[in-house]
Structure formats: C-alpha cells, structure tokens
Amino acid sequence: MKTIELGPDQPFDLNLTLSCGQAFRWEKTADGWWQGVVDRRAVRIRQERDRLTFEGANEGFVRDYFRLDQDLLAILASIDRDPAISAAISECCGLRLVGQPAWECLVSYICATNTNIPAVKRRIALMAGRYGRPIDGPFGTAYTFPDPETLAGVSSADLRDCKLGYRADYAREAAVFTSENPDWAKRVADLPFEEARQALMQFRGIGPKAADCVLLFAFGFFEAFPVDVWIHRIVAETYLPDLAGRKCTPAEYERIRRFSRDYFGGYAGYAQEYLYCARGPASRAQ
DNA sequence: GACCAGGTTGATC
DNA sequence: GATCAACATGGT
C-alpha cells in the first residue's frame, strides 16, 4: 500500500474524476475504494482529504494518469470567464482529466455513440472479460482491455455479443488497422491538433465528437471540446442562445467548438468537462 | 411503447 | 454542402 500527500495548491477530487464519465473501467466499491484496470495494471485507490492511498501501481503511474503535476488552479483560472463556468468550477473543483491509453480510449468512444454511459461500461467490461488477459491484482482477477491483435481476430458476431450492436464492425476495423499500424498513436500524437483530429476521423465510427473525446482524454489535446447532447444544450442556453432547442448539425458543432476554443482558451477541454460534470448530480454516474 | 442516451454513416436532394 | 433515416441496446 502506497500513499501520496497532495499539496494545498494541488486540488484533486478522485470521486469526481472517476465518476464524471471520461473513463469507463473504474468502479467504486461499497467501502470507498475505486478499482480499475489501466494497461496491464489492476489498481485500487482511495482518497481521504489530502491523502491518496493505492496499490497495484507505483507513484509515478498515479501522478501521470491523474495528471497530478498539472497546475489545475492555473488551468481553472484560465477558463474562469463568467458566472456559469465559475459555478461549474466551484461545484467540481478537483476534477482532473486523466491520461487514458489511446487504443482503449479509441474503442471506448466508438462504443459510446448514441448510447449512455452504463451501456458503454458494460460493453468495455464484456470485451475485457472475454478477450483481455487475466491479471492478478489487489481485487482478485482482473482483465486487461484486449489488444488490437486480439480484437482483430474476434468476429463481428462475437463483438455484437458484447452488446456493441452496429458498432461491432467499426471496432473490428479499428482493431485491424491499429494492429497493422502499431505506431498509429505515436503518429497522431505528433500531429498538430486539427490534423490529429482529421486522422482520428478516418476511423469508421469516429466522428467529430468521438474524435474530440479521444484527443482530450487520451492524447492530451486540451483545446479539444467534445460536443455531445448535454454540452450542446448547456452551451446553447448559456452562450449561443440562437442555437437553443435545435439539433446539433455539423455546422453547429463546428461553430460551438470554435466559439468554445476561442472563449475558454487552450484548456477549453477542461471547461467542457466541468460543464458536463456540473450538468446535474442526478445524471452523474457512480 | 415512446423517447432518450457522451453520434455516425451512407444516401439523397 | 445540408438533410435524413437507420442503426443496436438498455434505461426511464
């Protein structure tokens, strides 16, 4: 069991960070521990005030994954432009964007279109349980997210059986491509933002919204501003009232993300996640 | 049983 | 380039 003491200038809220819907493989147990699988690690972690206690990973991993060395106060100050975002910041202060493994994040957001978060978590868990590698960890046997080579060998029918529905072929195609191009993530990471975005949208099943999620949650492009139905609602009502009540067409998506990038700045993605997280406690997954 | 959910695709005008 | 139905699934 290891610990990290958070400094007073280092706000972090583990519960908000893991329950806000950015990552799909964490579960909170009844006794207050979060357990999840990241790459080949089965991690168990909890927070009591300024102390993080964890096992299954070293301190370096925990710092990197939760981006504990990122100056969150400075980031929040940079996006704090008006009372609406200010309220979201007050409500969700300590939420951090984690650094997810690219391949798992890509498939996760292929699985996350036109559906809800509990269903996405079920799909990921089913794929891991059936096609991932078993690893011994602090909470018994856990399963890694299946690597591209493995998933490329799974039939569409078997993926549908993991409740992917019509997304099964998209996931399979992504697995085939990434197993044949193992350097794809590094190539995307080295591109400028808009080009990286276009590169991700070459995957079938990855449109503008899913691409922005992967850019933000896996590649650390913090200017990415994913616009889902909730964010569309919030931004339209708060900042672009002429869009309120309308469906999010591609042109409107483009307008919202450009506005938000200009308005909130280079960490617009944090603004997006704080607005999303503060959308209402009733809809927050635990 | 309709409607919604961290949308995207392919066809059509 | 804009619009539209179809898409599998599970929750309310």
CATH 1.10.340.30 corresponds to the domain A102-217:
yes
Domain locations along chain A = 2-92, 102-217, 229-284
Could you give the 3-state DSSP secondary structure of residue A134? Answer: strand
The phi, psi pair for A137, rounded to 5°, reads -145, -175
Q: Are A151 and A107 in contact (CB under 8 A)?
A: yes
Segment (H or E) for A215: helix A208-217
pLDDT value of position A246: 85
- Greater confidence (A286 vs A90) lies with A90
Nucleotide nearest to A164 (CA to C1'): C8
pLDDT value of position A279: 81
Q: Are A104 and A145 in contact (CB under 8 A)?
A: yes
A96 touches strand B (CB under 7 A): no
Span A96-124, pLDDT tens digits: 999 999 999 999 999 999 999 999 999 99
Task: Quote the CA–CA distance of A251 and A240 in Å, as a whole number.
Answer: 14
pLDDT value of position A46: 98
Check whether A188 has a pLDDT greater than 70: yes
pLDDT value of position A245: 86
Q: In this prediction, what percent of chain A has a pLDDT beyond 90?
A: 96
Task: Quote the CA–CA distance of A159 and A258 in Å, as a whole number.
Answer: 36
A198 touches strand B (CB under 7 A): no
pLDDT value of position A280: 59
pLDDT value of position A281: 44
Tell me the CA–C1' distance in angstroms for A245 and B2: 20
Radius of gyration of chain A (CA): 18
Tell me the CA–C1' distance in angstroms for A4 and C12: 41
Q: Which residues pair with A34 in a beta bridge?
A: A28, A45
Query: Encoding tokens for residue A47?
Result: 């927070």
Span A190-230, pLDDT tens digits: 999 999 999 999 999 999 999 999 999 999 999 999 999 99
Tell me the CA–C1' distance in angstroms for A118 and C11: 9
Span A22-33, pLDDT tens digits: 999 999 999 999
Nucleotide nearest to A207 (CA to C1'): B8
Nucleotide nearest to A277 (CA to C1'): B6
Span A66-89, pLDDT tens digits: 999 999 999 999 999 999 999 999
A215 touches strand B (CB under 7 A): no
Q: Is the pTM of this model over 0.85?
A: yes
> A2-92: what fold?
TATA-Binding Protein (3.30.310)
